Amino acid sequence: MVEARFAADRTAQLDETDALAGYRELFVRSADVVSYLDGNSLGRPLIASADRLRDFALEEWGGRLIRGWDEGWLELPFAVGDELARVALGAASGQTFVGDSTTVLLYKLARAAVTARPGRQELVVDTDNFPTDRYVIEGIAAETGCTIRWIESDVRGGVSAQQVAAAVGGDTALVLLSNVAYRSGFLADVATTTELVHRAGALVLWDLCHSVGVVPTELDAWGVDLAVGCSYKYLNGGPGSPAFAYVRSSLQDELRQPIQGWLGSRQPFEMGPGYEPADGIRRFTSGTPPIVGMLAMRDMIALLGTVGVESIRQKSVALTEHAVALADELLVPLGVELASPRTVGMRGGHVSIDHPDFRQVVERLWRRGVVPDFRAPRGIRLGLSPLSTSFAELRLGVEAIREELLAL
């Protein structure tokens, strides 16, 4: 078709001029996957991470055994957190640590924030936030007797600063929002929204799961109170790799997190009779650090520092723009609808498209080595990792979606 030929020509030009193309060689690739479009859900491993994991098992774990705790493992959550903060979060040291899952960290910080605003009985969250975020808030509301004010969010857009301004007030304790919406890819205005929440005297907790490593972030400059994000998407930490948490330095002494584990205490190895929180960011930790789970993300954080998140964002914008153009040319005539913002500045690193037959289409795509992901009830997300995804890989995937729709 004419449209396909035009798209192919444009794709080749984009790959030829891609300044980050050489980095694709650093990632492990599977021979049976011809188009991987789910990097916003699970990133490919770096070859260096495979080597690091093997060496760790043989040398550090196998060689040093329990001595490794005294030789750096105990400090790894804070060392990795500080490096992530420096290269990807726009945050000074001493405010970020790695450990626990996203769910646990959301609970810790949200629960601590509610306790720090006594007398305020309202929690604000949007109706299309990721399920974990909503469920955690519902659980905290049940524990504390708070009520939830739901912001009705557009499933093809997101939460605007104006909606937040209308929702917060003197009874608001906490607002929980996502920087990039998991379904639509909508990119929130963090700075403006955070300021609006602060004017109401409330705290704000940002979920960075779909933005860290692909969208430039300035937590300190934006005045963010709290943030949580996972490491297995654009940070390529691997399945179930630990999440990270950011707590603004001026809040650390004020907040008391609810999961009082031994390593978050002031003198953990004294094994004392009562809990006294440690100083600084350490007080937000609980149990034994997930050392193996932090290994792979260290390599990706280092790569982010080399390339720079601004350069990654430029490639991400080019990929999502091309995804929209390909969808318009090849899929919209077949009844597919764009389910992400068209405006570049309102879109993160993935593009969503809708069609009533997409559940069946994704099953067929996976069998032929084309791997996007399905989001009920009728969505496909095209997750585009800038350092590991080529424009040709994207085009191949979109053309495969077209072929499977035509074959139904």
Q: How far is residue 49's CA from residue 307's CA, in Å, rounded to a whole number? A: 17
234: its two tokens: 């654009």
To which H or E segment does residue 379 belong?
strand 379-383
Q: How far is residue 252's CA from residue 249's CA, in Å, rounded to a whole number? A: 5
What is the four-CA torsion angle of 83, 89, 94, 99, rounded to 10 degrees? -70
**406: nearest Cα among 301, 336, 343, 316:** 336
Residues 361, 366, 371, 377, CA torsion sign: positive
Q: Which residues contact 92 (CB under 8 A, 6 or more apart)?
A: 85, 220, 249
Q: Are 94 and 79 in contact (CB under 8 A)?
A: no
Q: Which residues are catalytic?
A: 130, 207, 232-233, 381
Q: Are 117 and 173 in contact (CB under 8 A)?
A: yes
Q: Which residues contact 76 (CB under 8 A, 6 or more apart)?
A: 98, 289, 291, 294
344: its two tokens: 């570049």
Q: Is 120 exposed, middle or buried (0-12, 13-18, 19+ CB in 10 A)?
A: buried
Burial 249-281 (b: 16+ CB within 10 A, else e): eebbeebebebeebbbbeeeeeeeeeeebeeeb
Residue 377: cis peptide before it, omega within 30 degrees of 0: yes
Q: How far is residue 60's CA from residue 148's CA, in Å, rounded to a whole number? A: 47
Q: Is 317 exposed, middle or buried (0-12, 13-18, 19+ CB in 10 A)?
A: middle
Q: How far is residue 25's CA from residue 236's CA, in Å, rounded to a whole number? A: 15
